[in-house]
Every structure is written in C-alpha cells, then in structure tokens.
C-alpha cells in the first residue's frame, strides 16, 4: 500500500510536471494581434469586450448575451486580465480602450500577447488541477492511493488535455470545475461533512457558467447523492431524506450561477442566453447579438443505426485522445468495478452516461474536444485497474509502467508540435519575398495560417470572391493553403440549419477554385510545403499541426 506521504509527493510531482509542460510552448503563435492559432479559443480582448458589453455599453438589464459562451467565465478572465490594463495605464501605454485595433495600446502586439499569456497560464494551472481531482476521485472510490496516482498519469496521457493547457479555450476550465464537483460529491458521500456539498454547488455552477455543454455531467450528481443516501438505511435514518448540506449546496449553486453571470445586473440577458440555446428567443432579439441559430437539435430522432454510429464516433474520439492502451485500460477498469466495486462504478458511469445523453448526443456531431469529459473520466477506472494489476505480479508492474509511459509519450508529442509549428518555417521562407513587395493571397481563417494578416501585401478576399475569375483578375504572386479547415474555402454556415439543408452549405465556385489551384490549372505551381512529422499517427485537433503549402505564379501565367 502506498503511504500517504509518498502519495502526496507523487501528486506534487505530477502537478509540477504538468505546469512545466504547460510552460513549454505557451507562447505558441504569439504575438498575433487579437487572433490565436487555437480554434474557438478566447481572443485576448474578448473577456474585456464581454465585460464592457455587460456592464457599460448597453446599460442595466439590456438583454445582451454573448453568443458563443456564457459570460461567467469571460468575466472571470476579464478580472484576471485587469492587472495587465492597470500596468499599461501606469506606464502611459494605454490611452483609453477602443473596440478596434490597436485598442488604445501604444504597443498593441506586446500587450495582446501578454493578455493571451495570462489566460493560457490560467488554463495550465487548471489542467494541473484536473489531474489532482482525477487522482482524488480514483483514490477515494477505490481506497487505494496508488490508483489515484495512476489515474492522474493516465489522464496526463490525454493529448487534448495537454494541448488545451496551452490555449485560452474554455475546455480546461469547465473540466476543472466539473471534476471538482465530482470529487466534492464523492467526498460528501463519505460522511457528515456539509462543506463538500457546498463545494459541489459552487463548482457545478462555475462549470455551467463556463460552457453549458458540461450540464449533462454535473446534473446527475444530485441524483447520485440522493440514490446513494437512500441506499444506506442507517444514514437515511440519522439525517433524513438527504444528507446534511445538500440544500445549502443547491442554494449556493443558484447564487453562484446568478452572481458570476451578472444576472443581478442583466437578468434579461441571463435568460436570453438560455432562450438562445433552446431556440425560444425571438429572431429580432437573437439578430442583435448572434447571426445564426445555435446548432443544438432537440427534436430530430435517430434510428438505431445512427445512434450506434454516433456512439462509435464518440468512442473513437476518446480512444484517439487517450491512446488505445489508455482507452483499453479505462474500459477494463469499468468491467473490474462492475465486479468488485459497484458503488464506484455508479459514481463514474452516471456522469459519463449523463454527459453523453444530455450533452454530446444533442450536438449531432463529434469533435475530440467535445469528448474530453469522457476521456478524462475514463482515467479513473483505468487507474483502479492498473493499481489492481500492480499488486498482482512484477510482470504486471512492467506492463503498467510501459502503458503509462506510452500514454505520456502520446500526449507529450504535442509539445514539439507547438514549438516546431510548420507556420514558423513558412513565415521564414516567405519573409524575403514579402519584404521585396511580392503579393500573397490566402482563403482560410487566420487561425490556420501564418501570422501575415497585418502585412499590406497579404490579402484574404471575401468569400464571394474566392473563385477562379477573382484569382485570375487579382493575380497574386503567391497563394498559401493550410491543410486544416479547408472546408472554410467553399463551405458557409446555413443561417437557419433547421430548413433541412444541413448546418453548412457548399459554394461550387469556391470548390472549383481549390480544385483548379491544386491541380495546376490556374498557372500556379507548388514551390514549398512545410509540415511537422508525427511520431505517433492519430487524428488531430483541427488547430494542431497544420501543413502549409505555398504556390507561386509561373512565368507563363504572368
């Protein structure tokens, strides 16, 4: 049995290693104005912009809501960013805040990069906190400290967790609060300690205030408390229908939810956010703050075949995240719990199934980051299984060590992907050509391209002008394509995806431009391609490791 002292030392080492790993490549793609290389990440000025809209621009009870995420986490990020503004003001380098670049900064690139680093550093710390929460859950459910250590190591082998620890995306934040809520639930069910249910209420509210997608993970936790409490007759007789502290925890959850989302100042905006999510908001109000219907479908039913396909896609994404050895250990751990610890199985399975049914299923699509609550939660039974195997034989210990190291290699490969991003080499290759006044054209989002958006000789035409005729007329010297998000060249969002045509529509002229360019029919030939080779082949998050291809106009086409 692992002693408590060694257990705490191991957790300290794991959390410190997680923070150090987060520091490697934390400046990925910086400086980059108010843009980032991570898709759907929070841009440096976004939290401050949201705070301004909530409290200043529109006034009391304006009805304003942020179309992308709840305002709760954005306001917390704004508070974390405030010292940067204060420092800039004290140094005389902030002259009022503007909504347009340079946003009032004398040195905007420096301060925008610092703002990005602040939010990324917070993600790094929260990612380390997730590992500690996973360890705590596995330890308390199994009674084995070694299970906690191994669960944390398996979770550290999730490459999306390592990646998002380097970005300002909301993923690490909502996972941290969700797993804190689950840990508090497990601790609260161990005995008469109301403070754990208070922590559950607060952390569940903060999770939902970060991203509502986590709702399916946290909403089963009160049901778990009630079920387990009723399962224990002596506890029921001693404390009544529910454990002491649950009512106060529920009340605290409501208070925190309203407080962090500024519902005391903008109650109609708080309600409009949920009306927007459930398609009950009037089109006139929605059009003020969002130019599309939120892509959640509550009505469409699925056939059994479609359901199985969706589950298969979700499981594949989870396996891709953890690596197949870690994924297999997680599934094996669930089987072990079914035979040896059904209480622990219920504690893991209920939020897992709840998240799939309530959150992942209604999206009708699967992305790797959407499955992170499942892949992270599977680390708990994986840790229990590996600890069980560790106690059996020396050969099993070798196998466990190899599996853990394979997982860490799987996730650790993210670090060279960040530090050796192909876009750095593409920028260096193009630098002398752009300095000589050569023109360059791109068609994709700047999220997936080198940092050229501020250069006068680099242009990104409007979507309607991304066609063969437009390129022929403009005749840039170079065209650059990224291997990621190529659909953005020829696909555009359906303003109302409920009309039966799907969420995205295709522009045939734009598709023809891409095909003609790549086949050399437009007088451009490939002159350079930059990509970072993978040691472990896998499906990657869209933002990660793009290949950059450069085409030059041939002399015959000039």
d(C-alpha 306, C-alpha 314), whole Å = 12
- Tell me if 205 sits within 8 A of 68, measured CB to CB: no
Q: Are 105 and 48 in contact (CB under 8 A)?
A: no
Q: What are phi and psi of 492, to 5 degrees?
A: -140, 150
Cβ distance 19 to 125 under 8 Å?
yes
Q: What angle do CA 8, 384, 140 make, to 5 degrees?
A: 50
Could you give phi then psi for residue 11, rounded to 5 degrees?
Answer: -65, -40
Location of structure tokens 């290389």: 37
**How is 411-443 classified by DSSP, letter by letter?**
HHTHHHHHHT-HHHHHHHHHHHHHHTT--EEE-
3-state SS class at 265: coil
Which are the contacts of 284, defined by CB distance < 8 A and separation ≥ 6? Answer: none
Question: What are the sequence ranges of the domains in the chain?
Answer: 4-41+119-416, 422-557
Roughly what angle, to the nearest 10 degrees, separates helices 4-23 and 108-142?
160
Burial 180-213 (b: 16+ CB within 10 A, else e): bbbbbbbbbbeeeeeebbbbbbbbbbbbbbbbbb
Question: Coil, helix or strand for 493?
Answer: strand
pTM for the full model? 0.94
The long-range contacts involving 258-263, CB below 8 angstroms and separated by at least 24 positions, are 260/72, 260/73, 260/75, 260/76, 260/205, 260/206, 260/209, 261/70, 261/71, 261/72, 261/75, 261/209, 262/54, 262/55, 262/71, 262/75
* Per-residue pLDDT in tens (0 to 9) along the chain, 558 residues: 789 999 999 999 999 999 999 999 999 999 999 999 999 999 999 999 999 999 988 889 999 999 999 999 999 999 999 999 999 999 999 988 888 899 999 999 999 999 999 999 999 999 999 999 999 999 999 999 999 999 999 999 999 999 999 999 999 999 999 999 999 999 999 987 899 999 999 999 999 999 999 999 999 999 999 888 777 665 444 456 778 889 999 999 999 999 999 999 999 999 999 999 988 999 888 888 887 777 777 666 778 888 899 999 999 999 999 999 999 999 999 999 999 999 999 999 999 999 999 888 887 778 999 999 999 999 999 999 999 999 987 789 999 999 999 999 999 999 999 999 999 999 999 999 999 999 999 999 999 999 999 999 999 999 999 999 999 999 999 999 999 999 999 988 776 666 666 667 888 999 999 999 999 899 999 999 999 999 998 989 999 999 999 999 998 766
Q: Which helix (H) or strand (E) holds 114?
A: helix 108-142
Contact by Cβ (8 Å): 167, 35: no
Number of H helices and E strands in the chain, helices first, is 24, 7
Q: Is the separation of the CB atoms in 318 and 371 below 8 Å?
A: yes
């Amino acid at each position: 049995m692992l002693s408590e002292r060694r257990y705490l030392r191991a957790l300290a080492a794991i959390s410190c290693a997680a923070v150090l790993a987060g520091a490697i490549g934390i400046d990925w793609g910086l400086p980059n104005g108010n843009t980032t290389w991570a898709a759907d990440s929070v841009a440096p000025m976004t939290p401050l912009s949201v705070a301004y809209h909530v409290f200043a621009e529109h006034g009391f009870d304006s009805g304003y809501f942020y179309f992308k995420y709840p305002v709760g986490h954005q306001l917390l990020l704004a508070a974390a960013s405030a010292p940067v503004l204060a420092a800039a003001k004290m140094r005389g380098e902030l002259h009022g805040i503007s909504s347009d670049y340079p946003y009032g900064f004398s040195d905007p690139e420096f301060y925008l990069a610092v703002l990005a680093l602040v939010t990324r550093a917070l993600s790094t710390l929260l990612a380390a906190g997730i590992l500690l929460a996973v360890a705590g859950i596995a330890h308390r459910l199994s009674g084995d400290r070694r299970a906690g250590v191994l669960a944390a190591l398996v979770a550290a082998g999730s490459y999306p967790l390592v990646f998002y620890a380097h970005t300002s995306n909301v993923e690490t934040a909502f996972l941290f609060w969700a797993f804190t809520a689950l840990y508090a639930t497990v601790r609260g069910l161990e005995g008469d300690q109301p403070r754990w249910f208070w922590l559950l209420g607060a952390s569940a509210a903060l999770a939902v205030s970060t991203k509502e997608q986590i709702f399916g993970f946290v909403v089963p936790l009160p049901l778990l408390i009630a079920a387990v409490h009723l399962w224990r007759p002596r506890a029921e007789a001693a404390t009544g229908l529910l454990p002491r502290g649950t009512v106060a925890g529920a009340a605290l959850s409501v208070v925190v939810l309203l407080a962090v989302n500024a519902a005391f100042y903008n109650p109609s905006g708080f309600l409009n956010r949920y009306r927007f999510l459930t398609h009950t908001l009037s089109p006139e109000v929605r059009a003020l703050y969002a130019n599309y219907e939120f892509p959640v479908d509550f009505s469409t039913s699925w056939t059994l075949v479609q359901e199985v396909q969706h589950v298969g896609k979700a499981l594949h994404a989870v396996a891709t995240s953890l690596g197949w050895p870690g994924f297999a250990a997680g599934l094996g751990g669930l089987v072990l719990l079914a035979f040896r610890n059904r209480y622990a199985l219920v504690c893991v399975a209920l939020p897992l199934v709840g998240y799939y049914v309530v959150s992942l299923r209604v999206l009708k699509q699967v992305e790797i980051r959407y499955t992170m609550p499942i892949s992270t939660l599977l680390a708990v039974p994986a840790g229990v299984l590996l600890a069980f195997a560790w106690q059996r034989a020396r050969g099993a210990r070798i196998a466990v060590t190899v599996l853990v190291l394979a997982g860490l290699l799987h996730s650790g490969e993210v670090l060279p992907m960040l530090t050796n991003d192909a876009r750095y080499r593409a920028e260096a290759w193009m630098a002398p050509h752009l300095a000589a006044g050569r023109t360059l054209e791109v068609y994709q989002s700047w999220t997936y391209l080198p940092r050229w958006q501020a250069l006068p000789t680099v242009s990104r035409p409007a979507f309607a002008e991304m066609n063969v005729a437009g390129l022929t007329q403009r005749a840039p010297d170079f065209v650059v394509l990224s291997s990621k998000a190529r659909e953005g060249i020829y696909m555009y969002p359906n303003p109302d995806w409920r009309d039966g045509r799907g969420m995205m529509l295709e522009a045939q002229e734009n598709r023809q431009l891409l095909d003609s360019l790549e086949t050399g029919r437009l007088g451009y030939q490939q002159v350079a391609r930059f990509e970072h080779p993978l040691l472990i082949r896998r499906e990657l998050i869209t933002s990660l490791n793009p290949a950059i291809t450069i085409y030059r106009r041939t002399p015959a086409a000039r």
